[in-house]
Amino acid sequence: MLGLRSFISACGFVVVAVVALPASVADMAPGDGAAAPESDPAALAESGDDRPRSIDGPPLAVHAAVGRITGTMVCTAAIVLHPRIIITAAHCLTGQDGMLSRARATFQPARRAGLELDRFEASVWAIGAPQRPTGQSAHEAANDWAILVLDREPMGVRPVPMQSLSVHDLTQLERQVLMPSYASDDAGVVALSVDPACSVRGAMWNVLLHDCRASAGASGAPLLIPDGQWYALVGVHSSSIAIVDADNGASTFVRYSAIGTWAFAAAIEKLSERLNSGGDPLVSTALAH
């Protein structure tokens, strides 16, 4: 059985897999859910465009749909499908035992590229799976997502829709992925930063692997792609993935991981329908899986 460990580092949430390398794809497949096509970890660690690229740029209207969320740690969240629905990483809200630690969090959506912030109370509606610091399963790692409901609608914010593309189609969008996040910069200042031209490189254990720049605070950040005159959500940044050789202890950084929309789209659509019906949803902290 594949054993995963996770921990919080200065760079954010890290998932470590201890395997005998080289490992076959079959050995690392999660075996449950709508599994994505697998990629070879060694090839992913060595491939891709690793040239330095800017993490800032001109402010975009879509940045207003991205904000800072404070739960058990400070992370990033995005307003998706409905003005009161936000999505983030589940480990931003869970405690050391992996279970939900806080049923409520504070969300601050961006205004004018992050210079002005409003505060909203956000209540947890569902999380994908527990996020235990040790002994994490592949299923848990592939369901590091949480859906929350805001206490009111932010003014003038357009939610981003979701798209569920195949891994193959996503990898064809070379340098077309946008990832805005509230991550610490080199000076330790938390502000909106954007990787405007990153890529999805493949998939492993039913999570997307990407090369968007990420640091502490970026967990939960949306991976966005152009969608007509707007943008669509294709994933939520989760963690860094490293593989440790069980024989000699050598570690290999693979890629950053993101939870594809296939993991949570149905739950968000269900919540949106409930909100659109005119009544407040019954807030539930039950696991979705």
Give the separation between CA 34 and CA 142, rounded to whole angstroms: 11
Question: 52-276 sits in which CATH class?
Answer: mainly beta
Q: Is the pTM of this model over 0.75?
A: yes
pLDDT in tens, 247-261: 777 777 778 999 999
Give the separation between CA 141 and CA 133, rounded to whole angstroms: 11
The answer to whether 87 and 144 have CB atoms below 8 angstroms apart is: no
pLDDT in tens, 137-151: 778 889 999 999 999
- How distant is the alpha carbon of residue 122 from its chain centre? 17
Q: Which amino acid is at 141?
A: A
Residues of the chain with pLDDT under 70: 1-59, 96-102, 111-117, 133-136, 184-190, 280, 282-289
Closest CA to 181 of 231, 110, 104, 123: 110
pLDDT of 99? 66
Give the separation between CA 122 and CA 150, rounded to whole angstroms: 4
